[in-house]
């Protein structure tokens, strides 16, 4: 991909069988350039998350890909991960930065709220995620419009991530105004996730 082309940020499924998912993920990481990986599990089973974190850290770090975890701040150090992705930007980012240090990745998902994104960036977030960008029945139906990404890319230096209900058309449209595309649910239910991923990002070249 060209230097100014948005990078790929891969998100795990909310639940998976580690024994079958790990080799599937490894295949994708070997075939496709990925800038970051997010472990984003729905379960509250600590052991399951720890096992997954251990396995995925080995896969990611062997390929020089940083691995962040959604929300579970205390697991970052325990698992030797690279940072945390906060689903709720109200979490104390400034305090987290002091605790985790300058090298840790801290990302914040801010829905479609420009003000929340600015506040998270000023507090020390390394990236801001907006979404969903596509139409979905999940949540309240609100989504992040292209206009938000245009404004952000023109005025704000903090990297921005587009995610949620992505389509090939949305990826083509948003490519000039975003730094990363976070892709997860769009591919994992497919029989061949790698083929679906390639179809989704075909416009990026």
Radius of gyration of the chain (CA): 16
**Across residues 141-145, what is the average pLDDT?**
91
Question: d(Cα 105, Cα 66) in Å, to the nearest integer?
Answer: 9
The string of pLDDT tens digits covering residues 75-97 is 999 999 999 999 988 769 999 99
Q: What are phi and psi of 4, to 5 degrees?
A: -95, 5
In which band, very low, low, confident or very high, does the pLDDT at 2 lie, cut at 50, 70 and 90?
very low
Range of the domain at 97: 87-134+143-159+173-178
Q: Select from 76, 95, 114 the last residue of a domain.
A: 76
Domain shared by 23 and 62, yes or no: yes
Asked, for residue 198, whether it belongs to a domain, the answer is no
Asked, for residue 26, whether it belongs to a domain, the answer is yes
Q: What are phi and psi of 181, to 5 degrees?
A: -115, 120
Asked, for residue 168, whether it belongs to a domain, the answer is no
Contact 112, 130 (CB under 8 A): yes
The string of pLDDT tens digits covering residues 168-203 is 999 999 999 999 999 999 999 999 999 999 999 999
* 194 CB neighbour count, 10 Å cutoff: 17
What spatial distance separates the first Cα and last Cα of the chain, rounded to whole Å? Answer: 6
**Across residues 112-133, what is the average pLDDT?**
96
Total domains in the fold of the chain: 2
Percent of residues, the chain, with pLDDT higher than 70: 98
Cα 173 to Cα 14, 20, 38, 124, 170: the distances in Å are: 27, 34, 24, 28, 5
| pLDDT at position 50 over 50 | yes
Give the closest residue to 124 by CA, choosing from 144, 141, 147, 101: 101
């Amino acid at each position: 991909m060209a230097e100014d082309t948005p990078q790929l940020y891969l998100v795990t499924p909310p639940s998976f069988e580690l024994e079958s998912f790990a080799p599937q993920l490894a295949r994708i990481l070997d075939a496709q350039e990925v800038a970051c990986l997010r472990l984003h599990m729905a379960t509250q089973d600590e052991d399951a998350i720890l096992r997954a974190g251990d396995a995925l850290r080995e896969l990611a770090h062997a390929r020089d890909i940083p691995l962040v975890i959604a929300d579970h701040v205390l697991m970052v150090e325990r698992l030797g991960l690279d940072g945390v992705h906060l689903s709720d930007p109200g979490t104390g980012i400034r305090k987290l930065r002091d605790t985790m240090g300058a090298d840790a990745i801290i990302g914040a998902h801010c829905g479609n709220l420009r003000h929340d994104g600015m506040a998270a960036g000023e507090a020390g977030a390394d990236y801001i995620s907006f979404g969903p960008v596509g139409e979905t029945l999940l949540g309240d139906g609100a989504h992040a419009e292209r206009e938000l990404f245009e404004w952000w890319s023109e005025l704000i230096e903090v990297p921005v991530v587009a995610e949620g209900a992505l389509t090939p058309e949305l990826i083509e449209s948003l490519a000039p105004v975003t730094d990363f595309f976070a892709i997860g649910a769009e591919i994992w239910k497919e029989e061949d996730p790698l083929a679906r991923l390639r179809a989704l990002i075909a416009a990026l070249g």
